[in-house]
Amino acid sequence: MLYVPFPLLQRASSSTPIFHIDLPRTLYFSPPTATMPTTPTTPTPITPWWKDAVVYQIYPASFKDSNGDGLGDIPGIISKIDYLKDLGIDIVWISPMFDSPQVDMGYDISDYEAVYPPYGTVEDMETLIRACHERDMKVILDLVINHTSDQHRWFQESRSSRDNPKRDWYIWKPPRYAEDGTRMPPTNWRSYFSGGTWEWDEPTGEYYLHLFAKEQPDLNWENEDTRNAIYDSAMRFWLDKGVDGFRVDTVNMYSKGVEFLDAPIIDPEFYEQPAWLYYANGPRMHEFLREMNDKVLKHYDAVTVGELPHTPDPKKVLDYVGASDKQLSMVFQFDIVDIGQGVARKYQFQPWKLPLFKGIVAKWQQFIEGTDGWTTAFCENHDQGRSISRFASDAPEYRVLSAKMLAIMMTALTGTLFIYQGQEIGMINVPRTWPISEFRDIESVNFYHSIAAQTNNDAATLDYVMRSLQILGRDNARLPMQWDASAHAGFTDREAGAWMRVHDRYGEINVARQVGDPESTWSFWREMIRLRREHGEVLVHGAFEGFEMENEETFVFAKRGGGKTVVVMLNFTGEEQRVEMPYEGLELRVGNYGDVEGAEKSAVGRARVLRPWEGRLYMMMGGH
């Protein structure tokens, strides 16, 4: 293995930029190419505005604190809009900023029409929407309508008595009784945040359903009044203020069906069992989404990206995203972010091999080919560990290479591209040494304590839980954004620091250090976004082809579209790897080692040698 220490590689790279792109930025539309007919024989459908867009997700609590209370806020976001514009972002997605008791970081909404006061006001949101629109950027919000907070006035009314007119707005069921007379919940379903999905309400003598925390009761979508209230309060209220669409939370769980059956036992150590088979993709799901479109979305040309867990079958995914059916614009299919999760228990990390990852990428690239569906390219969000730590290497000597290698992959994939805050500077997971007391997420903390109770604090089991949380835990994505090397990573002025501990390595990994540096991860992402825009017809819209899909070390794929061919070669190991160039006549355009001219010197015929964590993008004008 040829080992070149990373600092040397940095110095060795040429001082001339490796990109030679100086085209005007054309937002949303792919530029025409030489091979496209100038007078098409069939009318060319107009590409919707959101397909070529690059979306940036903001997690309000952790993005930027403007008032020194240790928590991010909307004025903080507004202060960074130019930063996002400069990066090349087209759409800003704001995770929930609605009023909420914050049991689940705002995914428990107590009032859709108000802003959580520590984040700001509705007027601040109007300013933010205006600030984005003035810069030709769009804004989408999170639409969390599977459940509300138990503090929402709808639920307060619903639980007030069995004959309250809103009783049926949530899902209430009578108890079951065991043979010995013990009161039992209606089913054995496990909630996402540990324990069961049913909470007993003593005053009215029934259970209510909550797939997530007990403070997040599920709305009853079977009731038309409930649906209409959701459309008004959660959707029209914000669309009328100018938001351009929604990321739709847990989009496949609204129709629970009518049968509430016990789930099969796959985790015998617990009474409660995973039960998504019974509540995901229920019988009226598509009917509800068509109605939502018909009554609301189509009147605003709004974009939707649905969060679609538990749906591995491409045919089923297509049922949601076929353009002619008018349900959702696109979805986040979960296979890529589920990699490494345990089957019966999410935080039981399972080692995995590269062919699994490659197969998943290929599957969700190709499933729309020949259809009118659309896909997304993403590998991070607020519920996931950081991609460098999960899929590549966050070791100091490989971290930057890994970040750039993944940036090459992501920006070359077909679909709308989503970047999560901090991904553009290569933020990484929490160190292995952080104890559970540093974690804040209800899912992680509850899971840890449920296993502690169930194993009587068994040290080895809990160590494995901590290892799993360090790789997969949602808090990894929720650390304060690392703006600079000053105290608390420049996230907050509060003397006591941020609401959550900042990463130990913020001194090395921060925005201020990277923005002016042409060799930085941030500059690399920015240039890759520009390249993606310049060659949208192949990078955003092209057909995907994978090679040597069983190879466990490298990932080689091609994209073809608009008369252009691209080949991407990625080394997912810390050692040199030999790969084959599948096509001839391509030119190296981008490499994460920065030495585009030198990199091809070692090429022999079709053989290429990739250095540790090397990524390359080759291009040829003219297809095969």
Min separation Cβ 215 and ligand ISL, Å: 11
How far is the C-alpha of 196 from the C-alpha of 516, rounded, in Å?
51
Min separation Cβ 346 and ligand ISL, Å: 4
| Exposure string over 483-505, b if 16+ CB within 10 A, otherwise e | bbeeebbbbbebeeebbbbbbeb
When the beta carbons of 131 and 379 are compared against ligand ISL, the nearer one is 379
How many residues touch ligand ISL (CB under 6 A)? 12
Residue selected from 233, 250, 429, 577 as contacting ligand ISL according to rule CB under 6 A: 250
Min separation Cβ 277 and ligand ISL, Å: 13
Q: Is 309 in the site for ligand ISL (CB under 6 A)?
A: yes
Min separation Cβ 193 and ligand ISL, Å: 8
List the x/- string, 553-582, binding to ligand ISL by CB under 6 A. ------------------------------
What's the distance, CA 429 to chain centroid? Answer: 15
* Pair of tokens at residue 159: 């639980």
Tell which positions 318-337 bind ligand ISL, by CB under 6 A. Answer: none
- Spatial CA neighbour of 220 closest among 269, 144, 167: 167
Min separation Cβ 166 and ligand ISL, Å: 21
How far is the C-alpha of 571 from the C-alpha of 612, rounded, in Å?
6
Q: Is 152 in the site for ligand ISL (CB under 6 A)?
A: no
Active-site hit among 307, 394, 424, 537: 307
Q: Is 282 in the site for ligand ISL (CB under 6 A)?
A: no
* Pair of tokens at residue 584: 């001839």
What's the distance, CA 116 to chain centroid? Answer: 23
DSSP 8-class letter at 221: T
List the x/- string, 49-88, binding to ligand ISL by CB under 6 A. ----------------------------------------
Q: Which residues contact 323 (CB under 8 A, 6 or more apart)?
A: 372, 373, 374
Tell which positions 153-192 bind ligand ISL, by CB under 6 A. Answer: 192
When the beta carbons of 206 and 215 are compared against ligand ISL, the nearer one is 215
How far is the C-alpha of 333 from the C-alpha of 328, rounded, in Å?
13
Q: Is 383 in the site for ligand ISL (CB under 6 A)?
A: yes
List the x/- string, 350-369, binding to ligand ISL by CB under 6 A. --------------------
List the x/- string, 189-208, binding to ligand ISL by CB under 6 A. ---x----------------
Q: Which residues contact 392 (CB under 8 A, 6 or more apart)?
A: 398, 402, 403, 405, 406, 572, 613
Min separation Cβ 238 and ligand ISL, Å: 17
Tell which positions 252-271 bind ligand ISL, by CB under 6 A. Answer: none
Q: Which residues contact 154 (CB under 8 A, 6 or more apart)?
A: 148, 166, 169, 170, 219, 226, 229
Residue selected from 99, 249, 380, 424 as contacting ligand ISL according to rule CB under 6 A: 249
Q: Is 212 in the site for ligand ISL (CB under 6 A)?
A: yes
How far is the C-alpha of 319 from the C-alpha of 293, rounded, in Å?
15
Active-site hit among 99, 206, 249, 424: 249
List the x/- string, 102-141, binding to ligand ISL by CB under 6 A. --x--x----------------------------------
Burial of 37 (0-12, 13-18, 19+ CB in 10 A): exposed
Q: What are the beta bridge partners of residue 570?
A: 555, 615
CA distances from 129 to 89, 134, 232, 248, 312 (A): 14, 9, 19, 19, 35
Min separation Cβ 464 and ligand ISL, Å: 17
Min separation Cβ 286 and ligand ISL, Å: 19
Residue selected from 256, 346, 399, 532 as contacting ligand ISL according to rule CB under 6 A: 346
Residue selected from 144, 248, 354, 430 as contacting ligand ISL according to rule CB under 6 A: 144
Min separation Cβ 357 and ligand ISL, Å: 19
At 324 the three-state DSSP class reads helix
Residue 99 annotated among the catalytic residues of the structure: no
What's the distance, CA 373 to chain centroid? Answer: 19
- Spatial CA neighbour of 594 closest among 569, 615, 571: 615
When the beta carbons of 70 and 217 are compared against ligand ISL, the nearer one is 217
- Spatial CA neighbour of 619 closest among 547, 571, 552, 569: 569
Residue 307 annotated among the catalytic residues of the structure: yes
How far is the C-alpha of 235 from the C-alpha of 469, rounded, in Å?
34
Q: Element (H or E) spanning 401, and its range?
A: helix 399-411
When the beta carbons of 170 and 212 are compared against ligand ISL, the nearer one is 212
Active-site residues, by number, are 249, 307
**Where does this chain bind ligand ISL (CB under 6 A)?**
104, 107, 144, 192, 212, 249-250, 307, 309, 346, 382-383
